[in-house]
Amino acid sequence: MAVIDVTEKQTESGSARANDTVPVPRAPKLSRRPFLAVVAAVLVVAGAVAGGLLWVSATAAGEVVMVRQDVSRGEVITAQDLGAVRVGVDPSLSTVPAGELASLVGKRAAADLTAGTLVSRTQVSATVVPGPGDSVVGVPIAPGLMPVEPLASGDTVRLVRTGDLPADTAPAGPVEAKVLRVTPGDTQTVVDVVVAADKAVQLAQWAGSGKIALILDSRAR
């Protein structure tokens, strides 16, 4: 009769159950990215708010000089060209307080001034026109007696008397001048020119006759 070693079988069975362990699942790691994104968003919003507050505190509403009508570079600024407006201005901008508007009248535009914009100090030349020894004369020029090429402020021109001169009048040479402003009209174009003071009377007499031709000289510098 066979004898079965029960103890040995039980030991082997117990060892098998001991080795058959059930793995314990690890707890998932919580990601820190959403938290960091929220912190970054909060910091961005806070920076924007702080920047806005600094901007508001740095700008103050005040009256400054503005351009009412276009003024070309080199032209003389008149009182009608300027006005005052109350706006909030960045202190870093070189605007002109409205109280100083009168000081700009008679000066020359150092750059093109566009209607509706604010005047900067850098856009105005300190040179007053006409300067010492110069005069400004308005000369009406009829069509056909001036170039079709548009004139610009600062152009060098020569003005010549045309037509028959009185018998007792000696012919006079051309008058050299600088264009200051051009005002087109229905029948004539009025050209304001800067000339030497000793030529102003002669040119004004020519202008009264209405017989003046304009020659545009080289623009090369």
**Which residue in this structure is represented by tokens 């600062």?**
154
> 123, 119, 59, 129: which is closest to 95 by C-alpha?
119
Structure tokens, 174 = 């051309």
Question: What is the mean pLDDT, run by run of 10 residues, along the chain of 221 residues?
Answer: 49 50 56 59 63 51 89 87 85 82 89 90 80 93 93 92 64 85 91 94 89 92 70
| Calpha distance 152→123 (Å, rounded) | 17
CATH code of 134-216, in short, is 2.40.30
Do 62-128 and 134-216 share a fold? no
The model's pTM is 0.50
Q: For domain 62-128, give its CATH number from 3.90.1210.10, 2.60.260.20, 3.50.50.60, 1.20.1600.10.
A: 3.90.1210.10
What are phi and psi for residue 187, nearest 5 degrees? -115, -20
Sequence-separated (6 or more) residues with CB below 8 Å from residue 86: 61, 62, 63
Give the CB-side neighbour count of residue 185, counting CA atoms within 13 A: 11
| Calpha distance 70→153 (Å, rounded) | 13
Q: If 0-12 CB within 10 Å is exposed, 13-18 middle and 19+ buried, where does residue 21 land?
A: exposed
What pLDDT was estimated at residue 198?
Answer: 94
What pLDDT was estimated at residue 46?
Answer: 62
**Which residue in this structure is represented by tokens 């009048």?**
169
**Residue ranges covered by each domain of the chain:** 62-128, 134-216
> 105, 112, 106: which is closest to 71 by C-alpha?
112
What are phi and psi for residue 43, nearest 5 degrees? -65, -40
